[in-house]
Amino acid sequence: MSPDSHDETESRKRLMALMTRHQRQIFAYIYTLVPDRHDAEDLLQETSLVICEKFDGFTPGTDFVAWACQIAWWRIRYSRQKFARAKVVFDDDVLAAVAHTASEMASELDERHEALAGCLKKLPPRDRELVLTRYEPGSGVAEAARRSGRSMDAAYKALNRLRKLLHDCVTNQLAHPEASA
Amino acid sequence: MNLTDREILELNEFCGAVVDGTLTDAQRARLAAWLRDSEAARRVYVRALGQSASLHNYAAEMQAEAPDAPVRLQKVLHFSLWWLTVFPAAAALVLGLWFVPRLTENTVAVDAPGAGDFVARITGSKNSQWSGAALPPGARVAKNQRLELAAGLAEITFDSGARIVLEGPASLDVNSAWNGTLHRGTLKASVPHEAIGFRISNPAVDVVDLGTEFTMIADGKGAADVLVLKGEVEAAPRAAADQDTILLREKESCRFASSGVSDVSDRDKKFALFTQPLALDYFSAAINYVHWSFDEAAGDAVQADVRGRPAGAFDLQIKADAPASLAAAHSEGRRQHALRFDGKLYAQAPFPGLSGSTTHTVAFWVKVPADGKGTDAYSMVTWATNSKKLGNRWMGINWNKDPVEGPFGVLRTDFRGGSAMGSTPLHDGRWHHITVVFAPGDDTTPVQVKQYVDGRLESSTIIPGTIRPVARATAKGITALTDVLFLGCRLGIDGQRKERFRGEMDELFITDRALEPQEIVSLMNDNRLPASALAATGFAPGGPGDE
């Protein structure tokens, strides 16, 4: 194996490890700015391609997530027109402000993600089933309402209540980790 | 700004509606205002949306673990591991690239900070008395600067084109080129078409202007009257009980307070008062310019029309490598003839003083073909600088060819490794009016660049890049390019590079000061500067036009 191809293999391994570890965080960043699962996944895919292309510009030891999110940010800006038809579109100023806050909160979101697993387990089975059905790939509020035997209006209200419950549980768990052990 | 429990509750409901796609227009406007103004609100929003992203993730994982997973597994793979399948192709791309732009923390988009970040200017006054430092006519107003007017009237023109007349005593925060906060006092806002979306906030209400004139009277205790004199505005009350946005039309008014929305007292009297014209003294610095109309029908010379400069000294020479290329260079333009760049020819003209770091404005019409490719993007207008702050490098007005760094095809101005990026794609085969205002910056940002497309401010945000001063030996080559204006070609250390712009250009103006937004619109609509600017006298170094 030539030194060049050895370097390439090492670089590929490093990228695979980083992407496997951090893909979820990059998706969360994108979803915060483009709150539609399918659009966010498309953007994640486009972003990942650019990350692959530009990976030799990444400095090992620096913050990979911050670097990748910067690439994602430009993909989002580039794709703004694609999402202009969507109901939830904020202007550039707002989007930039939210992006800045989201990048600052990356580590907090990580902690919240981990804590959320414990909080999901604490939900009564019927409530947990409703939430997970709502967020399943290919599903939505209508499917969650149908499977749980609720009306759409009741499903929306229940989901709002459960999201608030989960949010408070996560906040409480992070503030008092010993209590949730 | 801290949020009350009730506000947090409301915000969380909005976030749920965002995720479920049920947000109403009124809720969206209110949420946008919240997110724009409040860091606390943004944090609540990011937590809520982050939680939904996590729930998508957990739901996908659990679905994949379920016994009936095989049918659905493909989607989960799409979410989590699909990129492994594209990696070989991407790796090949990496190997094939001889140059990959290096994205580092230096490329993070930031608003140019500090004293260099000006977003408005004092353009008129009458008996104005300022609390604290006086703001003389022509003074620039920085982002986030608070204006305390003790008495009299003062007109502030925002870079977006919105104009506000403030009546003292009044207190106004200038938040950005698009946004101000009135704490107390009275203002009258005039918002031209180009500045639609301009917003005035108050603790009681957010008013988004839809192209109009309106007055806001803030009592300094949390309540505000809003009276629409022309057009219409969208008013979003901040009291939780009145969360729906109200559309106020001409001659309509409302009082907004923490207790709710009510009628304005002495409404007719106030309308009568605020529809009276205001007798202000307006200020306009004199202006010199060079103008190329490109109206020649043939030949390689393009004459310049000059004001305040020696005639004949700025004529352009077209450099074409074939007679056919030159013959096709004079095309039908936005006004009479234009100069057509075929991807090979370029033009140059002597321009004494251009390479220094003085304030100036470049404005022109451009038509970029709909099939424009990245190789056609550099440069519409460019020149070398001899400023150490700018690394002795060149400035270039281009369109963006790198979709990773910004939207493809938008206006892009490059300087010393940094750039300003617009938002309207130019490659649509239509004429667009371009204006780029250059002003010296500060130690952090060596130059301020404001880009206007079709009269509307598109960006004043700088994306810093790697600072790479030119080596002394190569700087010699650049010195040879000093004070020369180039159209249609890219500059490098050895002079003109092979890259050429493809498209058409018409009515190019270069002025010796920053144009005001209404002057830019005047140039776009009438192809001339307003009479007030041309009639102004007394422009001298140290005056309001000299940065």
Domains of chain A plus CATH, in order, are: 3-104 (1.10.1740), 107-180 (1.10.10)
* Cβ contact, residue pair A74, B12, below 8 Å: no
Question: What's the pLDDT score for residue B89?
Answer: 38
CB distance B120 to B87 below 8 Å: no
B442 SS3 class: coil
> How far does B377 lie from chain A, in Å, by closest CA?
17
> How far does B543 lie from chain A, in Å, by closest CA?
33
Task: List, for residues B280-303, the tens digit of each pLDDT value.
Answer: 888 777 888 999 999 998 999 999
Nearest partner of B398 among B371, B418, B421, judged by Cα:
B421
CB distance B341 to B505 below 8 Å: yes
* Cβ contact, residue pair B100, A54, below 8 Å: yes
Residue B99 has pLDDT above 70, yes or no: no
Cα distance between residue B12 and residue A161, in whole Å = 10
> Chain B contacts of A20, Cβ < 8 Å?
81
Name the B residues in 294-323 with CB < 8 Å from any A CB: none
> Chain B contacts of A57, Cβ < 8 Å?
100-104
ipTM of the complex: 0.93
> How far does B449 lie from chain A, in Å, by closest CA?
17
Q: Name the residue among B78, B104, B176 with its Cβ closest to that of A41.
A: B78
Task: List, for residues B458-473, the tens digit of each pLDDT value.
Answer: 876 566 554 444 444 4
> Per the confidence metrics, is the pTM higher than 0.90?
no
Question: What's the pLDDT score for residue B309?
Answer: 73
Name the B residues in 145-184 with CB < 8 Å from any A CB: 176, 178-179
Rounded to the nearest 10 degrees, the angle between the axes of helix A3-33 and helix A64-78 is: 60
CB distance B294 to B339 below 8 Å: yes
Q: Report the pLDDT averaged over residues B472-478.
A: 50
* Mean pLDDT value across chain A: 84
Question: What's the pLDDT score for residue A93?
Answer: 86
C-alpha B321, offset from chain centre: 37
Question: What's the pLDDT score for residue B214?
Answer: 94
Q: What is the largest CA-CA distance in chain B?
A: 84
DSSP per residue, B476-518: HHHHTTTTEEEESEEEETTEEEEEE-EEEEEEEEEESSPPPHH
Residue B391 has pLDDT above 70, yes or no: no
What token pair was written down for A90? 């904020």
Confidence of residue A154 (pLDDT cuts 50, 70, 90): confident
> How far does A68 lie from chain B, in Å, by closest CA?
10
Residue B424 has pLDDT above 50, yes or no: yes
Task: List, for residues A34-78, the tens digit of each pLDDT value.
Answer: 998 888 888 888 888 888 888 888 888 888 999 999 999 988 887
* Cβ contact, residue pair A45, B82, below 8 Å: yes
Name the B residues in 457-496 with CB < 8 Å from any A CB: 461
* Cβ contact, residue pair A93, B36, below 8 Å: yes
Q: Which amino acid is at B405?
A: E
Question: What's the pLDDT score for residue A92?
Answer: 83
Element (H, E) at A21: helix A3-33
How many other C-beta atoms can be found within 10 angstroms of the C-beta atom of residue B113?
A: 14
* Cβ contact, residue pair B86, A66, below 8 Å: no
DSSP per residue, B79-107: HHTTHHHHHHHHHHHHHH-S------GGG
Q: Report the pLDDT averaged over residues A129-133.
A: 92
Q: Name the residue among B59, B82, B91 with its Cβ closest to that of A12.
A: B91
CB distance A132 to B58 below 8 Å: yes
Confidence of residue A89 (pLDDT cuts 50, 70, 90): low
Question: What's the pLDDT score for residue B467?
Answer: 47
